[in-house]
């Protein structure tokens, strides 16, 4: 049994190890190992296309994760006191956002936004006070953030709601009995208890957005995110440079994820629950 | 401020976001699927079922998806079950958390880069070289259904392990003691107690993996080399290359319809296990 488990873990981590190993390849042929060197890391970090794509990915991931955490937490808090049709409606939306495959979200967002923009742009041109200077709406940063924010907001609502459900309610009652204002109770009792959930939600949202390829592929417009850059490079053939980028991306997301998991696990222990 | 007003204000940003970025786009896809293709691509309003009538033109993509997705799901299940069993019933709590994190974490890292790694392993200088060095003849692994299957199992295994683990961990261990006290050999306890009680987890895992596989694009694109393609690859082709929005929308609606049927079947299936909990989250 133990050997079997080991074999499965080897299967899960071997490919990651292979990429990391080949990223240290001195030779320029990706699949032939010719001694150790870190030159490809330097080359990848000096490549302006890579750095541009990285900047785009980081900006989109940061903004969409921040918005998702803020609005998602607000929605999760408000949903406590909502019942009936609104509740069912929201639950259905969250369920659909998580369940509909990314590729369908991607194409749907693409054709909906392009159609809406095609309507709005002539109108903007007419109503804009200065002639010929009306802004032209197009796919890009905005559509990337909006599309990533959708899935990640649903994720934050789910995680934060789970935290709220596991919260010790008697503390809120105690706080009210001790004449705390509702806001004071929120700041000193509720927020500290749900904060691990918000933080974990933020970190997961960030990694989701940073790693997402399929939605970005459709809605990025003229922008290039790092996964889009990597995908188009793979199409042209494997290079040690891609291995270096891949190793850095995997390393960064592994670090963030282990952090998120640790926060969630510790939060569970504090909440007294044992089930993961 | 009135509590009601406050609640609405708190719900509004997320609500508007969901309406404009989820409901509106899905409605647009549905409407477009009844339209026609414009002369230069894009969409021309119409009401016709031509696009749906034309679906068999992409039959190969549906066939590949509907064979490899179930096979991939079953292979994932066969590999994941023993691991979940080991984690839930054969490890100490201290190790359990760490080992579980190690299973889940790869799922959240870039599937693009993890699939790409298999190009090395299955490509010309990887496993095939090793196999021919062992004198077992020349084999082509990359760009075959086998490569896509390996990528699928590799990518989605964590998603299968987790729900099964949760249902096994919640299992009342006293039932197993009772079963052995009553003279059941371990294998019969497993078949009569453990396995039936873990079925909700099995069903959840299978449904999650199957649904995500239906919309898969990257794994066939990277490891199938254009020879093994899924509906997702057809969608990318229709929207980004040939710009046939109406037909592409019809393909997308059909894909979602197949998934909805699967989810409904799953709900029926899990409801039969009374007390079976299906609130297994992904984290």
With CB atoms and an 8 Å threshold, state whether B26 touches A265. Answer: no
Which of A111-115, B207-211, B266-270 has the lowest average pLDDT?
Answer: B266-270
Please count the CA atoms within 13 angstroms of the CA of A9 that sit on its side-chain side: 15
**Sign (positive/negative) of CA torsion B166, B172, B173, B175?**
negative
Q: B205-244 burial string, b = 16+ CB within 10 Å, else e?
A: bbbbbbbbbbbbbbbbbbbbeeebbbbbbbbbbbbeeeeb
Please count the CA atoms within 13 angstroms of the CA of A41 that sit on its side-chain side: 12
Q: Which CATH superfamily is domain A51-271 in?
A: MetI-like (1.10.3720.10)
Please count the CA atoms within 13 angstroms of the CA of A246 that sit on its side-chain side: 29
pLDDT at B279: 45
A49 touches chain B (CB under 8 A): no
With CB atoms and an 8 Å threshold, state whether B86 touches A1. Answer: yes
With CB atoms and an 8 Å threshold, state whether B110 touches A234. Answer: no
Residue B160 contacts residue B80 (beta carbons within 8 Å): yes
Secondary structure (3-state) at A213: coil
Q: What is the mean pLDDT of residues B15-21?
A: 95
For A114-147, the pLDDT digits (tens) are 999 999 988 888 888 887 777 888 899 999 999 9
Dist. CA B95–CA B89, nearest whole Å? 12
pLDDT at B28: 95
Is the pLDDT higher at B199 or at B83?
B83
Dist. CA B103–CA B88, nearest whole Å? 13
Quickly tell me which residue has 């194409």 as its tokens.
A107
Interface confidence, given as ipTM, is: 0.86
pLDDT at A155: 92
C-alpha distance from B82 to closest chain A C-alpha (Å): 8
Point out the residue among A18, A109, A115 whose CB comes nearest to the CB of B121. A18
pLDDT at B278: 43
> To the nearest whole percent, how much of chain A has pLDDT over 70?
95
Q: What angle do CA A251, B142, A245 make, to 5 degrees?
A: 20
Residue B163 contacts residue B201 (beta carbons within 8 Å): yes
3-state secondary structure A156-187: HHHHHHHHHHCCCHHHHHHHHHCCCCHHHHHH
Q: Which two tokens stand for residue B134?
A: 């062992």
pLDDT at A272: 46
CA nearest A190: which of A274, A91, A74? A74
With CB atoms and an 8 Å threshold, state whether A31 touches B90. Answer: no
pLDDT at A35: 76
Chain A neighbors of B121, CB-CB under 8 A: 14-15, 18
Domain spans of chain A? Answer: 51-271
Q: What is the mean pLDDT of residues B185-191?
A: 87
Provide φ and ψ at A25, rounded to 5°. Answer: -70, 135
Q: What is the mean pLDDT of residues B227-232?
A: 92
Dist. CA A261–CA B96, nearest whole Å? 13
B215 touches chain A (CB under 8 A): yes
Provide φ and ψ at B180, rounded to 5°. Answer: -75, -35
Chain A neighbors of B212, CB-CB under 8 A: 101
Secondary structure (3-state) at A29: coil
The listed range with the strongest mean pLDDT (A228-237, B125-134, B169-178, B212-221) is B212-221
A222 touches chain B (CB under 8 A): no
C-alpha distance from A72 to closest chain B C-alpha (Å): 6
Point out the residue among B14, B24, B99 whose CB comes nearest to the CB of A153. B14
**Confidence band of B25 (pLDDT split at 50, 70, 90):** very high
For A3-49, the pLDDT digits (tens) are 999 999 999 999 999 888 888 887 766 666 777 888 889 888 999 99
CA nearest A18: which of B154, B23, B262, B103? B154
Dist. CA B216–CA A104, nearest whole Å? 10
Dist. CA A193–CA A77, nearest whole Å? 12
DSSP A276: -
Neighbours of B183 (CB within 10 A): 7
Would the pLDDT of B276 be above 80? Answer: no
Would the pLDDT of A268 be above 80? Answer: no
Is the pLDDT higher at A26 or at A229?
A229
Dist. CA B1–CA A61, nearest whole Å? 34
For A244-253, the pLDDT digits (tens) are 999 998 888 8
Neighbours of A137 (CB within 10 A): 17
Q: Is B59 buried (19+), middle (13-18) or exposed (0-12) by CB count in 10 A?
A: exposed
For A72-111, the pLDDT digits (tens) are 999 999 998 888 888 999 999 998 898 888 999 999 999 9
Residue A67 contacts residue A152 (beta carbons within 8 Å): no
Chain A neighbors of B103, CB-CB under 8 A: 9, 12
Q: How many interface pairs between A and B have CB atoms less than 8 angstroms apart?
A: 239
Q: What is the mean pLDDT of residues B260-264?
A: 85
Secondary structure (3-state) at A38: coil
**Beta partners for residue B44, in sequence order:** B36
Give me the domains of chain B, ranges plus CATH numbers.
Answer: 59-271 (1.10.3720.10)
Contacts 24+ apart (CB under 8 A), B253-257: B253/B29, B253/B30, B253/B33, B254/B52, B254/B55, B254/B62, B255/A101, B255/A104, B255/B214, B255/B215, B255/B231, B256/A100, B256/A104
For B36-73, the pLDDT digits (tens) are 988 887 788 889 898 999 999 999 999 999 999 999 99
For B12-68, give the DSSP string.
HHHHHHHIIIIIHHHHHHHHHTTSB--TTSB-B----SHHHHTGGGGHHHHHHHHHH
With CB atoms and an 8 Å threshold, state whether B18 touches A30. Answer: no
pLDDT at B3: 75
**Confidence band of A273 (pLDDT split at 50, 70, 90):** very low
Q: Is B273 left (phi over 0), alpha (psi -120 to 50) or beta?
A: beta
Quickly tell me which residue has 């230069």 as its tokens.
B40
Secondary structure (3-state) at B82: helix
C-alpha distance from B225 to closest chain A C-alpha (Å): 9
With CB atoms and an 8 Å threshold, state whether B111 touches A211. Answer: yes
Chain A neighbors of B157, CB-CB under 8 A: 8, 11-12
pLDDT at B272: 67
Chain B neighbors of A153, CB-CB under 8 A: 14, 17-18
Q: What is the mean pLDDT of residues A222-227?
A: 94
Point out the residue among B90, B101, B252 whose CB comes nearest to the CB of A261. B101
């Amino acid at each position: 049994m133990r050997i079997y488990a080991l074999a499965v873990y080897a299967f899960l981590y071997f490919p990651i190890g292979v990429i990391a190993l080949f990223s240290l390849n001195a030779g320029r042929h990706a699949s032939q190992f010719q001694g150790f060197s870190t030159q490809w890391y330097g080359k990848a970090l000096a490549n302006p296309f890579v750095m541009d794509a990285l900047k785009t990915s980081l900006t989109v991931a940061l903004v969409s994760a921040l918005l998702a955490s803020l609005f998602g937490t607000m929605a999760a808090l408000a949903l406590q006191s909502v019942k009936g049709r609104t509740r069912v409606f929201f639950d259905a939306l969250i369920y659909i956002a998580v369940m509909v495959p990314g590729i369908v979200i991607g194409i749907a967002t693409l054709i909906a936004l392009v159609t809406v923009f095609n309507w709005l742009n002539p109108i903007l041109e007419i109503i804009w006070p200065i002639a010929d200077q009306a802004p032209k709406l197009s796919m890009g940063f905005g559509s990337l953030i909006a599309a990533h924010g959708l899935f990640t907001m649903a994720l934050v609502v789910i995680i934060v709601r789970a935290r709220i459900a596991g919260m010790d309610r008697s503390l809120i009652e105690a706080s009210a009995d001790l004449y705390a204002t509702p806001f004071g109770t929120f700041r000193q009792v509720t927020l500290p208890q749900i904060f691990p959930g918000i933080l974990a939600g933020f970190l997961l949202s960030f990694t989701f957005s940073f790693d997402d390829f399929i939605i970005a592929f459709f809605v990025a417009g003229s922008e290039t995110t790092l996964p889009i850059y990597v995908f188009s490079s793979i199409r042209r053939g494997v290079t040690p440079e891609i291995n270096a980028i891949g190793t850095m991306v995997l390393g960064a997301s592994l670090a963030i994820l282990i952090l998120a998991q640790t926060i969630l696990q510790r939060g569970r222990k504090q909440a007294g629950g044992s089930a993961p | 401020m009135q509590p009601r007003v406050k609640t609405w204000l708190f719900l509004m940003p997320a609500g508007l976001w969901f309406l404009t970025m989820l409901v509106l786009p899905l409605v647009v896809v549905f409407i477009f699927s009844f339209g026609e293709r414009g002369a230069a691509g894009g969409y021309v309003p119409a009401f016709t079922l031509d696009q749906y009538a034309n679906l068999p033109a992409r039959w190969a993509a549906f066939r590949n998806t509907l064979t490899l997705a179930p096979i991939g799901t079953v292979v994932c299940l066969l590999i994941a079950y023993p691991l979940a069993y080991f984690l839930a019933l054969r490890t100490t709590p201290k190790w359990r958390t760490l080992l579980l994190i190690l299973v889940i974490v790869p799922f959240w890292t870039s599937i693009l880069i993890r699939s790409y790694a298999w190009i090395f392993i299955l490509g010309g200088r990887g496993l095939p070289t090793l196999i021919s060095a062992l004198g077992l003849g020349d084999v082509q692994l990359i760009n075959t259904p086998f490569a896509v299957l390996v990528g699928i199992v590799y990518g989605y295994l964590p998603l299968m392990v987790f729900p099964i683990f949760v249902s096994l961990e919640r299992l009342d261990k006293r039932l197993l003691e009772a079963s052995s006290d009553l003279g059941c050999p371990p294998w019969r306890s497993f078949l009569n107690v453990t396995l039936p009680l873990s079925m909700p987890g099995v069903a959840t895992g299978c449904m999650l993996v199957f649904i995500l596989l239906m919309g898969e694009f990257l794994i066939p694109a990277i490891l199938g080399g254009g020879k093994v393609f899924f509906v997702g690859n057809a969608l990318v082709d229709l929207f980004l290359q040939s710009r046939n929005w109406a037909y592409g929308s019809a393909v997308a609606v059909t894909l979602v319809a197949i998934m909805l049927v699967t989810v409904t079947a799953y709900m029926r299936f899990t409801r039969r296990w009374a007390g079976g909990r299906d609130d297994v989250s992904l984290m």
